[in-house]
Structure 1
Amino acid sequence: MKSNIFSYPYKISQQMRNELNGHKSLLIWFTGLSGSGKSTLADALEQKLYELGVRTMVLDGDNVRGSLNKGLSFSADDRSENIRRVTEMSRILLDSGVVVLANFVSPYKKDREYVEKTIKPNIFVEIYMKTSIEICKQRDQKGLYMKAEKGTIKNLTGVNAPYEVPENPAVIITEKDSLEQAVEKVYLEIKDKLELQIE
């Protein structure tokens, strides 16, 4: 079956799209426990990038699981499949010339390494939301931690499923960082990588 698949040699390349947009493509990957602040930070960072004229797209765990990855469970295998599909979607978006902000718990080191390896030569920037589980529980608007502790939810990362801490993230954000400080930390990390052409 695979032998019958042929890629058409389209003339417009990612490099051309990057030049048209005036910046490079990046994948900014936010990882951390549920309630660690991934979506809040991605939202604030996207607003800053928008103001600078950077074309972006956010991929969020809950939104993707309600559409592209609907039907996947939270088992280890399905978590990996979730990340695999998100990685392929990110590749397509990167090829379109945009900056992708991906917010996923992504608890397993092997899955995050898979993302980085797969999207090369594009740039992968890993942001670790180092927020204590106590703070995450306090922020838990969905009541996930309470349900997990009661046994209603299985495989909740940090309660009855593991989280493997990133070994060498590009940026570490803690609960001591204000939102403004967190945005600035990430922006300083990606600023030169963007090669943003500001007129």
Structure 2
Amino acid sequence: MEVVKNIVWHNATITKEDRHRKNGHKSAILWYTGLSGAGKSTLANKVEEKLFERGYNTYVLDGDNVRMGLNKGLGFDAEGRKENIRRIGEVAKLFVDAGIIVSTAFVSPYTADRDMVRALVPAGEFVEIYVAASLEVCENRDTKGLYKKARTGEIKNFTGISDPYEAPVNPELTVDTGGQTLDESAEVVLNYLEEKGYITKA
């Protein structure tokens, strides 16, 4: 990748801390990771719904949605996945600077790629949420019919079947979407955000 020279970061007059004071809450990346079908997007949207109802500034960056625009054309091999995560990490960093609680729902199967995003923001602004539904649960759901296609070889580089998934070793939070209802899973996330002071207790 070509190194671009003669570029200097411009410090804005309004700071992230100014936005925190105005918004009444901290900003952070809620990074949902897990197998396809684990419920990442569903959980991220439910948490956003509950945060929005309480007046918090929040947005969800969904894996499929981002690949329709910003990351259109990227493949699903290791190199394509790495660039996919790098780009979304940079976008999420901007959301954090804007004072927003930004959720990202991506399989993001590789530890190194997730750690790369974690390193983009100060400590405490990256919350790794492992959506820990098992492969069996995800395959039984097969909400998009992808596992069936992966099993027949119609889809290559499919995480959990022909490609590995490196589960988080020490995530900030683990949510068992295979054994909890959606509302129960959302409450686990909200309780964590309250306990850690990102938002105030309801």
Interval of TM-score (by shorter of Structure 1 and Structure 2): over 0.9
Using a 3 Å threshold, how does the CA distance of structure 1 residues 42 and 195 change in structure 2: closer, same or farther? Answer: closer
Where 2:103 maps in the other structure, the secondary structure is: strand
Q: Is the Cα contact below 8 Å between 1:94 and 1:122 reproduced in 2? A: no
Kindly indicate whether the alpha-carbon contact (under 8 Å) linking 2:27 and 2:198 is maintained by their aligned counterparts in 1. no
User: Per-residue deviation at 1:121?
Assistant: 4.2
Matches within 5 A, 1:16-95: 16-95=18-97
| Equivalent-residue separation in structure 1 for 2:129 and 2:200 (angstroms) | 24
Unaligned stretches of 5+ residues in structure 1: none
Contact 1:18 1:25 in 2 (8 A): yes
Whichever structure has more helix as a proportion of its residues is 1
Tell me, yes or no, if the aligned pair for 1:32 and 1:131 is still in contact at 8 Å: yes
Equivalent position of 2:180 in the other structure:
177
2:193 aligned partner: 190
Q: Which amino acid aligns with 1:186?
A: V
SS at 2:120 equivalent:
helix
2:115 aligned residue (89, 105, 113): 113
Identity of aligned residues (%): 46
SS at match of 1:92: helix
Deviation at residue 9 of structure 1 after TM alignment:
3.1
Could you tell me how far apart the structure 1 residues matched to 2:72 and 2:44 are? 22
Cα distance in 2, alignment partners of residues 69 and 183 from structure 1 = 28
Letter of the 1:43 counterpart: N
- Uncovered stretches (5+) of structure 2, i.e. residues with no partner: none
State the alpha-carbon separation in 2 of the partners of residues 122 and 173 from structure 1. 19
Residue identity opposite 1:101 in structure 2: S
Alignment: residue pair count: 199
Query: Distance between the aligned counterparts of 1:197 and 1:133, measured in 2?
Result: 35
Paired position in structure 2 for 1:104: 106
Q: Deviations over 1:65-108 (max 9, x none)?
A: 11100000000011011000000000111111000011010000
